[in-house]
Amino acid sequence: MTYHDKNPVFKREIIEKVLSDYFANAINDPMIGYLFNGKDTKRLIAKETELTLGFFDQETRYTGRGLRQVHVPLKIKKGEFDRRLVLLRVAMEKNNLPENAIDAWLKHNEMAREIVLENLDC
Protein backbone atom coordinates (compact mmCIF):
# COMPACT_ATOMS: atom_id res chain seq x y z
CA MET A 1 0.00 0.00 0.00
CA THR A 2 1.41 3.39 -0.97
CA TYR A 3 1.00 6.65 0.89
CA HIS A 4 -1.40 7.65 -1.88
CA ASP A 5 -3.71 4.75 -0.99
CA LYS A 6 -3.70 5.80 2.66
CA ASN A 7 -4.23 9.49 1.91
CA PRO A 8 -6.54 10.14 -1.08
CA VAL A 9 -5.66 13.85 -0.98
CA PHE A 10 -2.76 13.06 -3.27
CA LYS A 11 -4.73 12.69 -6.47
CA ARG A 12 -3.69 14.38 -9.70
CA GLU A 13 -6.58 16.86 -9.81
CA ILE A 14 -5.97 18.03 -6.24
CA ILE A 15 -2.23 18.35 -6.70
CA GLU A 16 -2.71 20.27 -9.96
CA LYS A 17 -5.14 22.68 -8.29
CA VAL A 18 -2.78 23.33 -5.39
CA LEU A 19 0.16 23.85 -7.74
CA SER A 20 -1.89 26.14 -9.99
CA ASP A 21 -2.70 28.28 -6.96
CA TYR A 22 0.91 28.14 -5.79
CA PHE A 23 2.32 29.28 -9.14
CA ALA A 24 -0.33 32.01 -9.50
CA ASN A 25 1.02 33.48 -6.26
CA ALA A 26 4.69 32.66 -6.79
CA ILE A 27 5.06 34.30 -10.20
CA ASN A 28 3.78 37.58 -8.74
CA ASP A 29 5.64 37.31 -5.45
CA PRO A 30 8.12 40.16 -4.86
CA MET A 31 10.70 37.78 -3.37
CA ILE A 32 10.66 34.80 -5.76
CA GLY A 33 8.61 35.92 -8.75
CA TYR A 34 11.70 36.77 -10.78
CA LEU A 35 12.66 33.06 -10.79
CA PHE A 36 9.69 32.37 -13.06
CA ASN A 37 10.28 35.11 -15.65
CA GLY A 38 9.94 33.60 -19.10
CA LYS A 39 8.98 30.17 -17.77
CA ASP A 40 6.10 28.08 -19.09
CA THR A 41 3.84 27.87 -16.03
CA LYS A 42 1.73 25.05 -17.47
CA ARG A 43 4.87 22.97 -17.94
CA LEU A 44 6.08 23.78 -14.43
CA ILE A 45 2.74 22.63 -13.02
CA ALA A 46 2.79 19.45 -15.11
CA LYS A 47 6.34 18.49 -14.11
CA GLU A 48 5.87 19.32 -10.45
CA THR A 49 2.63 17.33 -10.47
CA GLU A 50 4.54 14.33 -11.81
CA LEU A 51 7.25 14.76 -9.21
CA THR A 52 4.77 15.06 -6.35
CA LEU A 53 2.58 12.19 -7.51
CA GLY A 54 5.61 9.99 -8.03
CA PHE A 55 6.70 10.59 -4.48
CA PHE A 56 3.32 9.75 -3.00
CA ASP A 57 2.03 7.01 -5.28
CA GLN A 58 5.32 5.39 -6.28
CA GLU A 59 3.76 4.76 -9.70
CA THR A 60 3.79 8.08 -11.56
CA ARG A 61 7.02 8.60 -13.46
CA TYR A 62 8.71 12.01 -13.36
CA THR A 63 9.78 12.93 -16.90
CA GLY A 64 11.45 16.27 -16.22
CA ARG A 65 15.09 17.21 -15.94
CA GLY A 66 16.96 16.62 -12.70
CA LEU A 67 16.24 19.02 -9.85
CA ARG A 68 19.89 20.03 -9.54
CA GLN A 69 20.20 20.65 -13.29
CA VAL A 70 17.13 22.90 -13.27
CA HIS A 71 17.63 24.80 -10.02
CA VAL A 72 21.35 25.27 -9.36
CA PRO A 73 21.81 27.73 -12.27
CA LEU A 74 19.09 29.89 -10.68
CA LYS A 75 21.26 30.34 -7.55
CA ILE A 76 18.23 30.06 -5.27
CA LYS A 77 18.91 31.38 -1.79
CA LYS A 78 17.77 29.80 1.49
CA GLY A 79 15.21 32.56 2.09
CA GLU A 80 13.80 32.08 -1.39
CA PHE A 81 13.45 28.35 -0.81
CA ASP A 82 11.73 29.08 2.51
CA ARG A 83 9.39 31.51 0.75
CA ARG A 84 8.39 28.75 -1.66
CA LEU A 85 7.38 26.58 1.29
CA VAL A 86 5.27 29.40 2.74
CA LEU A 87 3.46 29.99 -0.56
CA LEU A 88 2.98 26.27 -1.08
CA ARG A 89 1.43 25.96 2.39
CA VAL A 90 -0.89 28.88 1.61
CA ALA A 91 -2.03 27.11 -1.58
CA MET A 92 -2.59 23.85 0.30
CA GLU A 93 -4.59 25.60 3.03
CA LYS A 94 -6.64 27.44 0.40
CA ASN A 95 -7.57 24.03 -1.01
CA ASN A 96 -8.48 22.67 2.43
CA LEU A 97 -5.85 19.95 2.59
CA PRO A 98 -5.71 18.27 5.99
CA GLU A 99 -2.73 19.16 8.16
CA ASN A 100 -1.19 15.69 7.88
CA ALA A 101 -1.20 15.99 4.08
CA ILE A 102 0.29 19.49 4.25
CA ASP A 103 3.04 18.21 6.53
CA ALA A 104 3.81 15.27 4.25
CA TRP A 105 3.94 17.44 1.13
CA LEU A 106 6.14 20.06 2.79
CA LYS A 107 8.43 17.32 4.09
CA HIS A 108 8.71 16.01 0.52
CA ASN A 109 9.74 19.51 -0.61
CA GLU A 110 12.15 19.91 2.27
CA MET A 111 14.02 16.81 1.10
CA ALA A 112 15.00 18.73 -2.04
CA ARG A 113 16.54 21.66 -0.14
CA GLU A 114 20.17 20.54 -0.45
CA ILE A 115 19.76 19.60 -4.11
CA VAL A 116 18.09 22.89 -5.04
CA LEU A 117 20.38 25.12 -2.98
CA GLU A 118 23.54 23.17 -3.68
CA ASN A 119 24.54 23.74 -0.04
CA LEU A 120 24.57 27.52 -0.38
CA ASP A 121 24.73 29.34 2.94
CA CYS A 122 23.11 32.58 1.82
Task: HSE, CB side, 13 Å, CA atoms: give it for residue 38.
Answer: 1
In a domain, 90, yes or no: yes
In a domain, 121, yes or no: no
Domain limits for position 21: 3-116
What is the tens place of the pLDDT at every residue in 84-116? 999 999 999 999 999 999 999 999 999 999 888
pLDDT value at position 4?
46
The mean pLDDT of 57-79, rounded to a whole number, is: 89
pLDDT value at position 57?
86
The predicted model scores a pTM of 0.88
| First-last CA distance in the chain | 40
Domain count, the chain: 1
- Name the range with the highest mean pLDDT among 6-10, 50-54, 72-76: 50-54
In a domain, 122, yes or no: no
Question: CATH number, domain at 30?
Answer: 1.10.490.10
In a domain, 53, yes or no: yes
Task: HSE, CB side, 13 Å, CA atoms: give it for residue 64.
Answer: 18
pLDDT at position 1 over 50: no
In a domain, 98, yes or no: yes
